Amino acid sequence: MKRFYLPLIACCALFVCCSSNSKDDPDPKEPTTKEFVSKSYNGDFVVALSKAYDEFASTDELPTTINVQGIKYSKGQYVSAACLILAKMQDNPETWQDADIEIPKLSYSTSDTKDTFDPDSISISDVQWLAKTIYSYALKNTGYPNYCTFPSKYVESDGTEHDNMMTCNNAAVIFARVFNAFVKTSTLPAKVSSWQSDFLHKESNCEIDSPVVLAAMKEAIGTATSTRAKAEALFNYTRDKWEWVDYTNTVKGSVKVIQDKAGNCCDLSHGLIAMTRAAGIPARYMHGQCQFSKSVIGHVFVEIFVDGKWHICDPSNNSNTFGTHNWTHMATFNGRYKALPF
């Protein structure tokens, strides 16, 4: 009896232990999500849009066309497809693949002006609202709008309100980003980044790979090691060693402003952004009608991303510091840019 009883208890204990592990501690090798597998024309479009985002992640630009079932679709067409599929996923989450979408011929805007959307992320409900809003406009006007205005306002720290606007180019990036996440998990993400760029690439007048830019960047950073210290050193170098000169729009670009150690707000921004991006720190252009002590003036300055937030950096006046500026507010906010359009 003893020989049978003891092994039985041991067996029961083992059974209880195994049952507990399988219930409370799932096998870490067991996948909790599954990659999307297309079963339709709509699904093939989702996969192609995901691949378009992979290209964006590498080049900072969406492709001009995508290929679906051997057919090339233009950017305007694949933005329409994205809008239609997002609506289907929202209205019919279980059957969105059943009926093929029909893509109309609509003109597409390539404008990057008026991009003032403020939050760094956007919820999937707002993405779906954006898709329906710009697509409805496009159907009525046979073409996409330059931008879409969100119901909520962007509010500065002093209470000044600005419209939260997003260009169709930015919306296209966000749609592709959503589908890229969906392909990996078969689930729409709760939210995604709203950035229209990684703000690290070379652009016109922002030559991050120029020997002149790289030499100035290294001189400015000196012995700084942390990202914050590097960003502040780059800003201080631009503010202290370069002079502001009064003229309109871009004339010099990043290389010549570094060589001349002088430029207007546009060119000073080119120089600072080029050095900052060359150091691997995101930086973008800001443009607005800014309220100075005596008047409102069109002005360009820089935002640098450090420690999880954007910091205004305006090198045009020696009284400015990292994150502070000598103008009170933007009377009109004209946009954020990865490349300055003027």
Listing DSSP states for 52-97 in one string gives: HHHHHHHHSS--SEEEETTEEEEHHHHHHHHHHHHHHHHH-TTTTT
pLDDT number for residue 110: 85
> Which CATH fold topology does 211-337 show?
C8orf32 fold (3.10.620)
The pair of structure tokens assigned to 259 is: 């060589």
Contact (CB, 8 A) for 298 and 225: no
The pair of structure tokens assigned to 55 is: 């290209």
Q: Binning pLDDT at 50, 70 and 90, where does residue 21 land?
A: very low
Query: Largest Cα–Cα distance of the chain, in whole Å?
Result: 102
Question: In which residue are the tokens 């995101």 written?
Answer: 282
C-alpha to C-alpha distance for 316 and 238, rounded to whole angstroms: 9
Confirm whether pTM is higher than 0.75.
yes
Q: Is the pLDDT of residue 27 over 90?
A: no
**Chain Cα centroid distance, residue 179:** 15
Q: Binning pLDDT at 50, 70 and 90, where does residue 157 land?
A: confident
Pick the closest to residue 275 from 211, 324, 320 (CA basis): 211
Q: What is the pLDDT of residues 296-327, one digit of tens each?
A: 999 999 999 999 999 999 999 999 999 999 99
| Neighbouring C-beta atoms of residue 52, cutoff 10 Å | 24
C-alpha to C-alpha distance for 109 and 167, rounded to whole angstroms: 9
pLDDT number for residue 219: 98
Domain residue spans of the chain: 41-193, 211-337
Helix 211-221 to helix 253-260 angle (10° resolution) is: 60
Residue 66 β-bridge partners:
73
Q: Is the pLDDT of residue 229 over 90?
A: yes
The pair of structure tokens assigned to 69 is: 């079932």
Q: Is the pLDDT of residue 128 over 90?
A: yes
pLDDT number for residue 113: 87
Contact (CB, 8 A) for 183 and 36: yes
Mean pLDDT (whole number) for 94-121: 93
Contact (CB, 8 A) for 337 and 331: no
Q: Is the pLDDT of residue 145 over 50?
A: yes
CA angle 110, 285, 66 (to 5 degrees): 30
Q: What is the pLDDT of residues 34-74, one digit of tens each?
A: 999 999 999 999 999 999 999 999 999 999 999 999 999 99
Q: Is the pLDDT of residue 3 over 70?
A: no
C-alpha to C-alpha distance for 210 and 39, rounded to whole angstroms: 48
Of the listed ranges 105-119, 134-148, 285-299, the least confidently predicted one is 105-119
Burial environment of residue 168 by CB neighbours within 10 A (0 to 12, 13 to 18, 19 or more): buried
pLDDT number for residue 20: 35
C-alpha to C-alpha distance for 168 and 182, rounded to whole angstroms: 21
- Could you tell me how many helices (H) and strands (E) the chain has, helices first? 9, 12
**Chain Cα centroid distance, residue 76:** 20
pLDDT number for residue 11: 34
C-alpha to C-alpha distance for 323 and 151, rounded to whole angstroms: 28
Task: Determine what percent of the chain is predicted with pLDDT higher than 90.
Answer: 87
